[in-house]
Structure 1
Amino acid sequence: MSRRNAGARLDTALGWGAAPGPVAFAARVLLYLVLVAVFSGPLIALLVSAFGPVTDPTRLTLIPRGLTLDNFAAAIDRDVLRYLANSFIVVGCGLLLQILVSVSAAYALARKRFPGLQLVMLLILSTLMLPEEILAIPLSLVLADVPILHVNLIGTLAGMIVPVGAWAFSILVMTEFMKEIPAELEEAARLDGAGDLRIFWSVVLPLCRPALGVIGIFGFTMIWDQYMLPLLVADDAAQFTLPLALRTLRSDDQVGLGVLLAAALLALLPSVLAFLALQRQFMRGLTSGAIKG
């Protein structure tokens, strides 16, 4: 095999890019159809079943029949809109707080040098290794009596917002991204008389938009999918977020599967819309490390 042909066969994962003929074409089409069916099939079944009657929970269909909004009407009667509003409040305030904490902590860790820097990074990294089940009881005790302030956040949406304000993943992503920003830009700004706050706001932060897209999408998904935290904090059904309410709806024998799927579709859409809104920054953030240097 010549070098040119060998390089061509490496253009695709299986070397099919250089394989002519109807057999190779049919194999590629079949593989693509299988992948599409595996990844999009459950989503299509969810979409169709949410807008149609579900008579047999073991046989979800991909073909829409008798489309109706009755499932959504029944879900609204079950206060799904209130749970959805609670989720939006928690994710909106929590994500804003998380981004503020992440960029501030990352600027200090990436652009400053102080004793114990490595220890601080190790402590932040160690929080990623603790499962939620281990933190559940200590977290509930802290929220019941917040140190220094001595405020009880149990039974409030604030109790679901404050714990997600600092996430080690977002801090580490922002820290590594800020480390790649040339120090010459910061030095030039200091020569112009800019202070730390002005450098952070006008020089460093605008260059971190790709990383902000990454932590924005992952942070939104992490907060939106929270189940353990609302379960610990909420002491009334009026404080439930949508993921927690889905579990309640599932355990209610009077709620049909179609209503549950309609509520699940409402829980899925915000994450999809958030990714579509930030996908450009997200892709730039994922690929920026590959093109540096």
Structure 2
Amino acid sequence: MAASARTLIRPAVLRTRKGKLVYWSVLAVALALFTAAFLVPLYWAATGAMKSSAELAQSPPTYVPAHWHPENYARAWREMDLTRYFLNTVLLAGGAWLIQLAVQVPAAYALSKLRPRFGNVVLGLMLVTLMMPATALLVPAYLTVVDVPLVNRNLINSPSAVWLPAAANAFNIYLLKNFFDRVPDELLDAARIDGAGPLGTMWRIVLPLSRPILAVVSILSVVAAWKDFLWPLLVLPDPAKQPLSVFLQRVAQDTPLNSLVAGLVMASLPLIALFLVFQRQIIAGLGAGCLKG
């Protein structure tokens, strides 16, 4: 007989009327608190953008706008020329996503299935970078993009200065490798018998089975590139090439507060929409524990 799982409260207590009441009460309060923690800032920003600047700055604040100004969004978009900076951000995030998949998927596949000599050492060195503060890597990364080794090219004010460092993401490689490890070796052996090489096996066998984890890595890559601030600030000093995160900070001092908040809300909408659309894929990818043969 299988041993019952140990829990904080005994199952017998949970089956009583009092136990059920306490359980559902605690669950409802916890869900309400977590929901409020996520939704209150979104509500505050969305409604704050529709207030006048004076009302937004007054103390104590108003929880509901006294006068609604939804036109603040259109005015902020027009006056701050957000179309250009949205396109800049899409270019940087899209390029970072593509180059990450192009580098990280083959790297994880090689470490998982090709098992090169010293592969564990290479993986360990990659994981060590996760233990280092991101700020400690800024100076060496900046010196690298200023004078790229071997080609001796300066990438400052080029999208490549954002794309190439994004490919070196040890966490994504670890996620991919962990998933590839669960792909049955029998499938790869059958592909090799049919004459497929390592690249063909990866493309025809492994990648179709890896759609959940590829979706997770893609979303993580896009979100990280979209909201990144410090690195684009360093490598894209030209204002015309900066993403939304850098642009909104640069104009914050000279922009009305309600217009600035409207710009921040609109900059956040694509990420919120991305999560709402692909939340099922995110959960499926992170929860994938095995593959059926």
TM-score, normalised to structure 1, is 0.86
Which of residues 230, 243, 250 in structure 2 aligns to 1:228? 230
CA distance in 1, matches of 2:268, 2:13: 39
- Equivalenced residues, count: 283
Query: Any unmatched runs of 5+ in structure 1?
Result: none
Shift of 1:7: 2.2
Q: Deviation digits for residues 89-132 of structure 1, max 9, x if unmatched? A: 00001111101211110110000122211110011112222223
Question: Where does 1:19-58 land on structure 2 (aligned, <5 Å)?
Answer: 19-20=20-21, 29=28, 31-54=30-53, 55-57=55-57, 58=59
**What are the equivalent positions in structure 2 for 1:120-199 lying under 5 Å apart?**
120-199=122-201
Amino acid at match of 1:181: V
| Alignment-derived partner of residue 240 in structure 1 | 242
Inter-partner Cα distance in structure 1 for 2:17 and 2:249: 46
Alpha-carbon deviation of 1:61? Answer: 4.4
CA distance in 2, matches of 1:101, 1:16: 56
CA RMSD of aligned residues (A): 2.8
For 1:257, the equivalent position in structure 2 comes to: 257
Is there any run of 5+ residues in structure 2 with no aligned partner, and where?
none
Q: CA deviation at 1:147?
A: 1.2
- How far residue 277 of structure 1 moved from its aligned partner, in angstroms, is 3.0
Q: Which 4+ stretches in 1 moved above 4 angstroms?
A: 8-11, 15-18, 23-32, 58-62, 290-293
Structure 1 residue 27, shift from structure 2 partner:
6.5
Indicate if the aligned counterparts of 2:76 and 2:263 stay in contact, CA closer than 8 A: no
Match of 2:11 in 1: 7
Q: Which moved more, 1:269-278 or 1:203-212?
A: 269-278
Rounded to whole Å, the distance in 2 between the matches of 1:245 and 1:60 is: 27
Q: Distance in 2 between matches of 1:208 and 1:17?
A: 46
Identity percentage over the alignment?
A: 33
Kept in 1: contact 2:112–2:181 (CA 8 A): yes
State the match for 1:118 in structure 2. 120
Note the C-alpha offset of 1:263: 1.2
Decide whether aligned partners of structure 1 residues 119 and 47 sit closer, same or farther in structure 2, where only a CA change above 3 A counts: same
CA distance in 1 between partners of 2:290 and 2:196 (Å): 31
Letter in 2 for 1:43: L
Greater RCO, 1 or 2 (C-alpha within 8 Å, sep 6+): 2
193-202 vs 171-180, which moves further: 193-202
Paired residues of 1:103 and 1:174 also in contact (CA < 8 A): yes
Q: 1:149 to 1:46 in 2, by over 3 A?
A: same
